[in-house]
Structure 1
Amino acid sequence: MPSLNRYFYEPLSAQDAVRLIVLYPATDQEVPLTCSIIQHRLSTQALGYYAVSYAWGKHQFSATLEIKCDGTSSNSLRITPNVDVLLRCLRASDETRCWWIDAICLDQENDAEKAEQIPAMGRIFAQAQQVHIWLGPRTR
């Protein structure tokens, strides 16, 4: 992936707003991960999304997620290897899907935002179309 500028989170637009990632499809697991980040108000049920509960794993941010910011530019967000594998497993081959994943949808460097968003996690999971549990990649 070419060098991209670092992604900076936009402030949430409302008290009941959350970020969702729109994960773009790929038929090959090795294709770089690409998504958009959108805001959704929990007070509206118009948008169907999936949520994931998972083990964070080690806090080594050694993988990159490309975030499309508008029609012409992209930025990058550093993610953990566990989140990288998770996204590759969740990514569909033929359609975009909206996901709530705390490591990406919460600005992890903004303690005030986390203090507001963490109490809303029950509502975030309750309003999701489906909640997936990620224990890690399959091992044999």
Structure 2
Amino acid sequence: MSRASIQFSDRGSDYEPEEAQIYEDESLISSVVSIGAGDRYSLLPLDRKRCETRLIQLLPSSDESSPIECKLYVVSRNDGPIYTALSYAWGNKAHVSPIKVNGLDWWVTENLHSALTHIREAENAVTLWVDAICIDQKNDEEKSWHVQQMRETFTEASDVIAWLGPATESEIDAMKMLGKIGEIASTIAPDTDLWS
């Protein structure tokens, strides 16, 4: 799996939410399912005074074809949560793929599904901030507030992944070639700054 990332700090990705609202109680999951799609976020309200946001834990799987499963929860940014922010193009909203969030069926664009598939690890959960999932897209007031917080959301992230889409064979070959050119250039003039 290859991905581009931008490092903003030295924090790792071992964040385990302590007081996060993660649905592990079967009865709570059942009540969420009965609420319906329009109210998915009603059990995960945000307190703006506490600078709360939602994050997801992308659950691990060694099988790339297995369904994407996530846990959505609320955390205060004041507590310094460790997460990776995902930047991507939504793509065509008419082309969607299913994922599971807190046991519920959600539909996300194919581009987001592709990103989550590539980011998912075999052994460890990955903590992410993803706008399409972490923001209630049907709540204009919440969307507006998150837009105002976007700079902080990305600069406070431990990593930022800029998802450009799955690589084609020719793009993979081009990246390998650039790597080889870099290796050769560093052996020709190891103490010279070739880019000035």
TM-score w.r.t. the length of structure 1 is 0.87
The answer to whether 1:42 aligns with 2:71 is: no
Residue in structure 1 matched with residue 59 of structure 2 by the alignment: 24
Residue in structure 2 matched with residue 60 of structure 1 by the alignment: 94
- Mark the CA change 1:79 to 1:122 in structure 2 (over 3 Å): closer, same or farther: same
Distance 2:95 2:150 in 1: 23
Offset at residue 42 of structure 1 (A):
1.2
Q: Secondary structure at the match of 2:70?
A: strand
Superposed, 1:73-112 pairs within 5 Å as: 74-112=103-141
Query: Contact conserved, 1:23 with 1:36, CA < 8 A, in 2?
Result: yes
Offset at residue 12 of structure 1 (A):
2.8
Query: Contact conserved, 1:60 with 1:81, CA < 8 A, in 2?
Result: no
Q: Which has the larger radius of gyration?
A: 2
Kindly report the root-mean-square deviation, in angstroms, between the aligned alpha carbons of the 2 structures.
1.4
The answer to whether 1:13 aligns with 2:46 is: yes
Residue in structure 1 matched with residue 179 of structure 2 by the alignment: none
Identity of aligned residues (%): 31
Q: Secondary structure at the match of 1:84?
A: helix
Q: Secondary structure at the match of 2:55?
A: strand
TM-score w.r.t. the length of structure 2 is 0.63
The answer to whether 1:119 aligns with 2:148 is: yes
Could you tell which deviates more after superposition, 6-15 or 19-28? 6-15
4+ long deviations beyond 3 Å: none
Deviations 1:88-132 (A, max 9, x none): 001011001110011111111111110111110110111111011
Q: Secondary structure at the match of 2:165?
A: coil
Distance 1:61 1:48 in 2: 31
Query: Contact conserved, 1:64 with 1:76, CA < 8 A, in 2?
Result: yes
Distance 2:131 2:47 in 1: 18
Distance 2:53 2:41 in 1: 12
Offset at residue 61 of structure 1 (A):
5.0
The structure with the largest strand share of the pair is 1
- Mark the CA change 1:53 to 1:64 in structure 2 (over 3 Å): closer, same or farther: same
Distance 1:116 1:12 in 2: 13
Distance 2:45 2:147 in 1: 14
Query: Contact conserved, 1:51 with 1:131, CA < 8 A, in 2?
Result: yes
Distance 1:61 1:106 in 2: 20
Q: Secondary structure at the match of 2:118?
A: helix
Q: Secondary structure at the match of 2:91?
A: coil
